Structure 1
Amino acid sequence: MEKILKTKEVSEELGVNPTTVQRWIKYFDIPCKTNELGHYLIAEQELNTLQNIKERLNRGFTMKEIREKNDPVQVVKEKKEKMIATNILEDKLEQLMIHIEQLERKLSVKADEVVEYQVLQHRNELDNLFTMITKIDERMNRIEQQLPVITQKVVGGSEHNVPEQLKKPRKNKLMRIFSF
């Protein structure tokens, strides 16, 4: 009768963790029976396979390399599954390029819309500022009209009105600042 070992016994014999044994069984598709609790029951043949895997790993092979060398049919299947016809790739590339061009056009249109909106906002702000300046200028004119005439005292004792040349034309200066 063939000797059947549990995962823990195999891990002790191989000198590895029980989860490592479980991982190898799953990764290398080693056919093992399980008990009613789902624990692996490992026969002598499977134990030899696991010992072979451990030796190859110790020699520096990767798990992928070991799996490929153990099952050459599986490697060919994987390579065939990975191969895609050139015309399919070219079609996908063409579709991708069309999609990229569409996205670039949409991005350009969106950028133009944003700039247009910003220009309109700035124009509204300038119009509001111009309206405020006009109102301020009108108020200043009304205040100036309500003020009494400014007189100047001279050392000799005579008074006279301030010449018109000394009055500053404020409206013209303010309007020149905001005109285009």
Structure 2
Amino acid sequence: MNTSAVAKLLNVSHSTIQRWVTQLNMEVERNQLGHYQFTDDDIDLLRKIQDQLNEGVVLQKVTISEKKIRKANVKHHTEPEKGQDHLIERISRLEKSLKTKADDVVSYQLLQHRSELEDMQKLVDKLEARIEALESANVPPAEFYLASEEAAAAKKTKKKPFMKNFFGNTKKNGHSSLSTVDSD
């Protein structure tokens, strides 16, 4: 049972149950969320506490002979057990393989970066040669215009509206040139 259900059963508040458990150092199981889970023995123990409190005993002086006291479960190991040696050895092998794999990944990445840098360097060399050729006086005009056309194509051009391509700019002084026909 959870704390709320026990509190309803004993007709006390939720916080009262929690206070009794903590102040009397009762050992109560907890679920995966950390909430108390009371067994029938725990509920019987809480009823005995409630009876003593109803008789006028102060909570600090409540005594229950069969009360469960919280204990720390600490195990001291002086020697590793049989299974632990195997686990320690396996962990060591896994750590070594992980380190090796990490080194392999870094090496692969470095090779990839080196390849990319070499490709970029080839491109830079090619561009430098082209720029030198364009800047030299021996460049035939056709090649110069071809290079400038490529540069212009790379830039975005502003598109004219569809109708302006056919009729051009038809508005003059705020009036359309098509509507200036005199009617006599």
Instruction: Mark the structure with the bigger radius of gyration.
Output: 1
TM-score of the two chains, using structure 1 as the length reference:
0.44
Tell me which protein shows more helix as a share of its residues: 1
